[in-house]
Amino acid sequence: MKRPDPRLLPTLASLGVLLLLFGLGCLRFPDLLSPRVILNLFGDNSCLGVAAIGATFVILSGGIDLSVGAVVAFTGILVASLLGHGVPPLAAFALALLVGTLFGTLMGWLIQTFELPAFLVTLGGMFLARGLAFIIHPQSIAIEHAFYADTLPGFSLHIGSTTNAAGRAIPLLLPFTAVCLGAATLIGTLLARSTAFGRDIYAIGSSESSARLMGVPVARTKILVYGLAGFMSAFAGLVDTFYKQSGNPASFVGLELEAIAAAVIGGTLLRGGVGYIPGTLVGVLILGLIQTLVTFQGNLSSWWTKIAIGGLLFVFILLQQVLSKRKA
Amino acid sequence: MSPTDFILWPVLAALLFFTRKQALMKPLLALTLLLLYNRFCSPGFFDLEIKEGHLYGRLIDILNQGAKVMLLALGMSLVIATGGVDLSVGAIMAVAGAVLAQGVAARGWSPATAITAALGVSALLGLWNGLLVAFLRIQPIVATLILMVAGRGLAMLITDGQIINFENPSLVFLGNGYFLGLPFTLTLVLVMLGLTAFLTRRTALGLFLEATGDNETACRYAGLPARNVKFLTYVFAAFCAGLAGLIATSNIKSADANNIGLYLELDAILAVVVGGAALTGGRFHLLAAMVGALFIQTLTTTLYAANVSADIAPVPKALVIIAVCLLQSPVLRPKLAKLLAKKERPA
C-alpha cells in the first residue's frame, strides 16, 4: 500500500480530530446528530471560513495577514452604510470587494517593494481598517433592504426534508452563507492546486530565493496573494452581512488569530509552502464544533472555548514540528 | 512661556545634541516634534500643577500611562534582539491581574503574597513560551500565539469570568500612588530599566543576546548558550508583562480579564520598532525603546487632547507604523540617505 504524503498527515490528523470530537459529542448529546445542527455548523462559521481561506493563501506564501478581522468589520459597515444610502446591493457588493482587494494589494505592494516585514505592515492595515470602519459609522447599522429580506432566503439550497415532532415535513435548507463557504473552498482549492498562480505561491513559500531562480514572478505573486486575502476578507464581510443582516465596526476583533489558528489546525505550516485549503475548512469546522459543544454543555463558560482552541493549536504545532524534524 | 518650557525644551535639546547614539536620535527627534506640535496646537498640554506635594498634568499622565508600555517594551526589546517576538504579553498582563485580584479579594492573601504569586505565574507562562521557542524550536509568532489565544481564557478561568474589584491600599498605591512627587509607576520603570541595562550592558549577556539574534547557528558553534539565552528572554518578557499587568489592574482597582492589556503587545512591539530595532533581531537599545514607548503614549494623549474619539485613534497610529516601516526599509533607506547627502553638498 502506498504511504500517504507526510505533508498530508496534519490535515488527516485534524480530520480525525473533527470526527472524534463529533463522535464523542454525539455520544453525549444525541441531538448533535440532527441534520439541522450540522447544516448550521457550516452556516454559522462561514464568515470565519472564508476569511481563513484567504489567510491560508498568505501563510502558504510565507507571509502573515493581521488585518483580516478589521477588514471584515470594515466591509460589513461599508455595505450596511451604502445600502442605507440607497445604493443597489450588487453595486455595493462590487464596491466592497474592490475596496478590500485594493487594500490588500496596497499592503502587499508595501511589503514587497520596500521589503518591509509583513507583520508590521498588516498590523498598520489592521489599525487603519478598524479606524476607517468607525469613521464610516460609529455604531452598528441594521440592514433593512428588500434584497436581504426577500431575495437572499431564496438562495438557500433545498437539500431534502425531515419530519418534526408533530410528524409534519419541514424542508432542510443549506443556508446561503454555507453555500458561499462551499464555493470559496472549492474555488480556493482549485486555485491552489490547479493553477500556475497556486503553484507559484507554494514555491515562494517553500523557498523564495529558489522560486526566484526558477523564474517564478515572485514580486507579482506576493502582491497578488495579499490582494487575494483582502478580497477574501471583504467577501467574508459580505457573508457576515448575509448572516447577521447588519454591519458593526466593532465586530471581529481577533478574527485574524482564529483564521490563523484554523489554518494551522488544518495542517498549514506557518513557515509557508505546505498546506491544503480543504484542511483549513476542517480547521474552521473544528473551531465551530468546539463552540457548539461548549454551548450544548450549557454550564461551561465561553472562556473554555479559548482554552480548548489554545490547547489544540499547541498539539497541532507540536505535531508539525515532529513531522518536519523526522523528514529532515 | 511657562516654567515647564524652561525645563523641558532645554533638556530635550541637550539630549538631542549630546547623544552619540544614532539609535536614540530618531525616536527622540520624533518625540520632540510631537511635543512641539502640542506646544502650539494643544492648549493646556504642558500645564503642570502641584497638589498635596504631587505633580499633576498631561505630561505626568503620559509618564504614568506610558509605564505599562515601557515595561513591556523592556522585555520585548530583549526578545526582539534574539530575533523573536512575544505576542502573549497582553494576555499575560490579564493573567497577572486576575491572580492578583483573585488572591487579595477572594482568597484573602496579603498584598505581598498576591504580588509574588502574580509575578510567579507570569514568569511560569514565560517559561512555557521559552520552552516552546528555544527548546521545541517553534517559530516565536506561532509559539506565543498559543498563549495569546488561551491566556485570556486562563485569566477568566481564574476570575471565574467576573470582574473582581479590590480596595487594598497597598495595591491601589502600585498603580496610582506617588513617590517623590512623581507617579510610583515611574520609579518601577526606572528600577527595571536600570536593572536590565546593568545586566545587558555591564555583563556579557547583552552581547550574547545580539549574537543570538544575528546568527544563532554561528553562536552555538562558538559555544554560546544560545538556547538558554533565548529561553531567558521570554521569561524576562513575561515577568515584565506581569509587572505591567499589576499596574494596569491597580489603575482601575479591578481585574478585567477581557480588556486588560488588550492590543498592548502591539504597542510594545511598535515601541521597540520606533526605537530603531529591526524585527529580524541582532540589536537592541533599551533607552531608545523607552523613548519609543513614550512617543506612542504621547501620540495617544495628543489624539485625546484633540478630541479624536478612541475608536478613530487607530488611523493615525496606522500611519505612524507605515511611516516608521518605510523609514527603516532596506530599499528606501539608501535612497533617502542619498537624497539628504545631495542636498548638503552644494552648501
Residue A270, pLDDT > 70, answer yes
Q: In residues, how long is chain A?
A: 328
In angstroms, what CA-CA distances link B127 with A203, B77, B115, B136? 36, 17, 18, 12
Query: What whole-number distance in Å separates Cα of residue A288 and Cα of residue A49?
Result: 10
**What's the pTM value of the predicted model, to 2 decimals?**
0.86
ipTM of predicted complex: 0.80
Nearest CB to A313; choose among B146, B279, B331: B146
Q: Which three cell numbers stand for residue A225?
A: 496573494
Contacts of A233 by beta carbon, 8 Å cutoff, 6+ apart: A51, A54, A65, A67, A68, A71, A72, A75, A100, A104
Q: In chain B, what residues touch A317 (CB-CB under 8 Å)?
A: 132, 138, 142-143, 146
User: How far apart, in Å, do the first and last CA atoms of chain A sit?
Assistant: 24
C-alpha radius of gyration, chain A, whole number: 20
pLDDT in tens, A61-110: 999 998 999 999 999 999 999 999 989 999 999 999 999 999 999 999 99
Kindly determine whether residue B141 and residue A119, on different chains, have CB atoms separated by under 8 Å: yes
Kindly determine whether residue B332 and residue A132, on different chains, have CB atoms separated by under 8 Å: no
Q: In residues, how long is chain B?
A: 347
Average pLDDT in the A216-235 region? 96
Average pLDDT in the A274-289 region? 94
Residue A248, pLDDT > 70, answer yes
pLDDT in tens, A130-176: 999 999 998 899 988 888 888 887 787 777 777 766 677 777 788 88
Nearest CB to A131; choose among B145, B314, B329: B314
The crossing angle, in degrees rounded to 10, of helices B314-327 and B332-344 is 70
Average pLDDT in the A196-223 region? 94
C-alpha radius of gyration, chain B, whole number: 21
Average pLDDT in the A33-42 region? 86
Chain A / chain B CB contacts < 8 angstroms: 125
Kindly determine whether residue B279 and residue A120, on different chains, have CB atoms separated by under 8 Å: yes
- Shortest distance between the Cα of A191 and any Cα of chain B, in A, equals 26
Q: Which three cell numbers stand for residue B302?
A: 495628543
Average pLDDT in the B15-32 region? 81
Q: Which residue of A has its CA nearest to B157?
A: A303
Residue A2's pLDDT is: 60
**Which of the pair, B2 or B159, is modelled with greater confidence?**
B159
- Shortest distance between the Cα of A261 and any Cα of chain B, in A, equals 9
In angstroms, what CA-CA distances link B217 with A243, B214, B224, B226? 51, 9, 10, 8
Kindly determine whether residue A134 and residue B312, on different chains, have CB atoms separated by under 8 Å: yes
Q: Which three cell numbers stand for residue B29?
A: 527627534
- Nearest alpha-carbon partner for A52 in A180, A233, A250, A297: A233
Q: Output the CA angle B246-B249-B253, nearest 5 degrees.
A: 130
Kindly determine whether residue B138 and residue A321, on different chains, have CB atoms separated by under 8 Å: yes
- Nearest alpha-carbon partner for B96 in B257, B211, B227: B257
- Tally helices (H) and strands (E) across chain A: 14, 4
- Shortest distance between the Cα of B7 and any Cα of chain A, in A, equals 35
Residue A166 phi, psi (nearest 5):
-80, 0
Task: For residue B203, count CB atoms less than 10 angstroms from its CB and return exposed for 0-12, middle for 13-18, buried for 19 or more.
Answer: exposed
Q: In chain B, what residues touch A132 (CB-CB under 8 Å)?
A: 315
Q: Specify the amino acid at residue B169.
A: P
CB A122 within 8 A of CB A108: no
Query: What whole-number distance in Å separates Cα of residue A80 and Cα of residue A142?
Result: 7
**Residues in a beta bridge with B49:** B56
Residue B346, pLDDT > 60, answer no
CB A241 within 8 A of CB A247: yes
Q: In chain A, what residues touch B319 (CB-CB under 8 Å)?
A: 124, 128
Nearest CB to B312; choose among A135, A261, A304: A135
Query: Running DSSP on this structure, what letter comes out for residue B326?
Result: H
Contacts of B114 by beta carbon, 8 Å cutoff, 6+ apart: B99, B100, B103, B104, B171
Nearest CB to A127; choose among B141, B161, B317: B317
Residue B77, pLDDT > 80, answer yes
Query: What whole-number distance in Å separates Cα of residue B342 and Cα of residue B347?
Result: 10
- Shortest distance between the Cα of A308 and any Cα of chain B, in A, equals 8
Q: Give the burial string for B30-45 (b: 16+ CB within 10 Å, else e).
A: bbbebbeebeeebeeb
Query: What whole-number distance in Å separates Cα of residue A157 and Cα of residue A245?
Result: 19
Distance of alpha carbon B44 from the chain centroid: 26
Residue B198, pLDDT > 90, answer yes
Say which residue the cell 479624536 belongs to: B308
The H or E element that residue B132 is part of is none
CB A131 within 8 A of CB B311: yes
CB B234 within 8 A of CB B126: yes
CB B209 within 8 A of CB B90: no
Query: What whole-number distance in Å separates Cα of residue B91 and Cα of residue B271?
Result: 18
Kindly determine whether residue A110 and residue B331, on different chains, have CB atoms separated by under 8 Å: no
Nearest CB to A306; choose among B138, B142, B149: B149
Interface test with A, best of B88, B320, B325 (most A CBs within 10 A): B325
Distance of alpha carbon A6 from the chain centroid: 25
Contacts of B304 by beta carbon, 8 Å cutoff, 6+ apart: B310, B313
Half-sphere exposure of B173 (CA within 13 A, CB side): 9
pLDDT in tens, B250-281: 998 888 888 888 888 888 998 998 888 888 88
Q: Which three cell numbers stand for residue B70?
A: 515601557
Kindly determine whether residue B325 and residue A117, on different chains, have CB atoms separated by under 8 Å: yes
The crossing angle, in degrees rounded to 10, of helices B111-130 and B140-159 is 150
**Residues in a beta bridge with A171:** A161
pLDDT in tens, A141-154: 998 888 888 888 77
Kindly determine whether residue A309 and residue B149, on different chains, have CB atoms separated by under 8 Å: yes
CB B291 within 8 A of CB B275: yes
Query: What whole-number distance in Å separates Cα of residue B133 and Cα of residue A135?
Result: 40
Question: How would residue B347 be classed by pLDDT, with cut points 50, 70 and 90?
Answer: very low
Query: Running DSSP on this structure, what letter comes out for residue A142?
Result: E
Query: What whole-number distance in Å separates Cα of residue B70 and Cα of residue A301?
Result: 34
- Nearest alpha-carbon partner for A268 in A59, A58, A119, A68: A59
Kindly determine whether residue A310 and residue B331, on different chains, have CB atoms separated by under 8 Å: no
CB B88 within 8 A of CB B212: no
Residue B1's pLDDT is: 59
Kindly determine whether residue B153 and residue A304, on different chains, have CB atoms separated by under 8 Å: yes
Question: Which chain A residues have any C-beta within 8 angstroms of a chain B C-beta?
Answer: 64, 110, 113-117, 119-121, 123-128, 130-132, 134-135, 138, 249-250, 257, 260-261, 264, 270-271, 301, 303-307, 309-311, 313-314, 317-318, 321
- Shortest distance between the Cα of A213 and any Cα of chain B, in A, equals 21
Least confident of A65-74, A296-305, B309-318: A296-305
Kindly determine whether residue A310 and residue B146, on different chains, have CB atoms separated by under 8 Å: yes
Contacts of A69 by beta carbon, 8 Å cutoff, 6+ apart: A51, A126, A252, A253, A254, A255, A256, A259
Question: How would residue A227 be classed by pLDDT, with cut points 50, 70 and 90?
Answer: very high
A28 by DSSP, 3-state: which? helix
Question: How would residue A112 be classed by pLDDT, with cut points 50, 70 and 90?
Answer: very high
- Shortest distance between the Cα of B227 and any Cα of chain A, in A, equals 17
Residue A309's pLDDT is: 84
Q: Which three cell numbers stand for residue A263?
A: 489554518
Query: What whole-number distance in Å separates Cα of residue B282 and Cα of residue B206?
Result: 10
Query: What whole-number distance in Å separates Cα of residue B145 and Cα of residue B166?
Result: 30
Query: What whole-number distance in Å separates Cα of residue B129 and Cα of residue A245?
Result: 41
CB A242 within 8 A of CB A148: yes
